[in-house]
Amino acid sequence: MFQPLDPLLHSELRLAVVSLLISVEEAEFPYIKEQTGATAGNLSVQLDKLSTAGYINVEKTFKGKKPCTLCRMTDKGRKAFEAYVEALKSYLNVT
Evaluate whether residue 39 is within a structural domain: yes
CATH of the domain at 61: 1.10.10.10
Evaluate whether residue 3 is within a structural domain: no
Evaluate whether residue 4 is within a structural domain: no
- Residue range(s) defining the domain that contains residue 50: 12-88
Evaluate whether residue 35 is within a structural domain: yes
Across the strands, what pairs with 58?
Answer: 71
Task: Kindly provide the b/e burial profile for residues 55-86, where b requires at least 16 CB atoms within 10 angstroms of the residue's own CB.
Answer: bbeeeeeeeeeeeebebebbeebeebbeebee
Whole-structure pTM value = 0.91
Over its length of 95 residues, how does the chain's per-residue pLDDT go in tens digits? 788 999 999 999 999 999 999 999 999 999 999 999 999 999 999 999 999 999 999 999 999 999 999 999 999 999 999 999 999 998 888 65
Evaluate whether residue 17 is within a structural domain: yes
Evaluate whether residue 5 is within a structural domain: no
Count the Cβ atoms, other than its own, within 10 Å of residue 51: 15
* Structural domain count of the chain: 1
